[in-house]
Amino acid sequence: MALEFSLVIPTYNERENLPHLFAAVSRSLKGREFEIILVDDDSPDKTWAAAEDLQKTCPFLQVIRRRSERGLSSAVICGFRRATGKFLGVMDADLQHDENRLPELLMKIQNADFAIATRRAAGGNDGKWCWSRRLTSAIATTLAKKVAHISLSDPMSGFFVMRRALFEAVDDGSLKPRGYKVLLYLYARCLQRFGPAAVRLAEVGYQFRQRQFGRSKLSSQVVFEYLAMLFTLRAHARGGLVRGKLPQATSHSPCLPSSA
């Protein structure tokens, strides 16, 4: 029997955050049937090993250690393929996403296909970001709208829930996201598959927190991969929409063997 919710958390050098993260998510989802799938890219700080130790007190936790693949977006795809929940969620391990918004996201997804935690909705903000990071985010958002024609209020968000049936409908073997912005990628692919009018969207405002442990992954390579993804999505869109009916339920797809 499928669970209500599977939360995928991609990690790389985040072991210090794990005890705080799992305790906070567990409190937020108390009373619900859920699982957490941590997908770690063979972190040098052995995040995967720390997570395996925490399985003793966190029976809801699964750990996937990837040795041959890298990248947040592909890690999320791997986790989604392993998941058993009716709804699939993503959040970062750095404690910057507010786990207290999870119940509201799960409420919103009952009547939507994507429920997105956004800094641009009522009650949301960038927290204590400096002006340069706010400018970078604004430019990235504008590029998403102009290049990939995605009108999300916060396409940079990495904190969202989507229907598993919808993911499985677009997971035809061609999903090859690059970089960190997996929401933008999956949302664009769903629009291309079913058409903009068919995909229902809900948003929940949240306040972006400061990182407590570890280091930010933002780098010039991340910027390059983001730009490459935008132009890839644009090329897919130019290929034309393959319209179909939004699925009610589909069969479960396992994680790719190379990701285990």
The string of pLDDT tens digits covering residues 40-88 is 999 999 999 999 999 999 999 999 999 988 888 999 999 999 999 999 9
pLDDT over 90 (residue 223): no
Which among 182, 201, 4, 232 is positioned nearest to 78, based on CA atoms? Answer: 182
Residues recorded for the chain: 260
Dihedral sign for Cα atoms in the order 216, 220, 224, 230: positive
- Mean of the per-residue pLDDT values for the chain? 82
Q: For residue 260, what pLDDT is reported?
A: 36
Which among 46, 47, 49, 56 is positioned nearest to 9, based on CA atoms? Answer: 47
What pTM does this model have?
A: 0.81
Neighbours of 100 (CB within 10 A): 12
Averaged pLDDT, 104-127: 85
Averaged pLDDT, 211-220: 58
Q: For residue 252, what pLDDT is reported?
A: 39
Quick: pLDDT tens for 166-200: 999 999 888 888 776 899 889 988 988 898 889 99
Q: For residue 132, what pLDDT is reported?
A: 64
User: Among residues of the chain, what percentage have pLDDT more than 70?
Assistant: 68
Using an 8 Å Cβ cutoff, are 64 and 171 in contact? no
Sheet holding 34-40, edge to edge: 61-65, 34-40, 5-11, 87-90, 160-163, 114-118, 201-205
How many Å separate Cα 180 from the centre of its chain? Answer: 9
Quick: pLDDT tens for 131-169: 566 666 677 767 666 666 677 778 878 899 999 999 999
Averaged pLDDT, 8-30: 96
Domains (ranges, CATH) in the chain?
Answer: 5-242 (3.90.550.10)
Q: For residue 250, what pLDDT is reported?
A: 38
Q: For residue 197, what pLDDT is reported?
A: 86
pLDDT over 60 (residue 238): no
Q: For residue 130, what pLDDT is reported?
A: 59
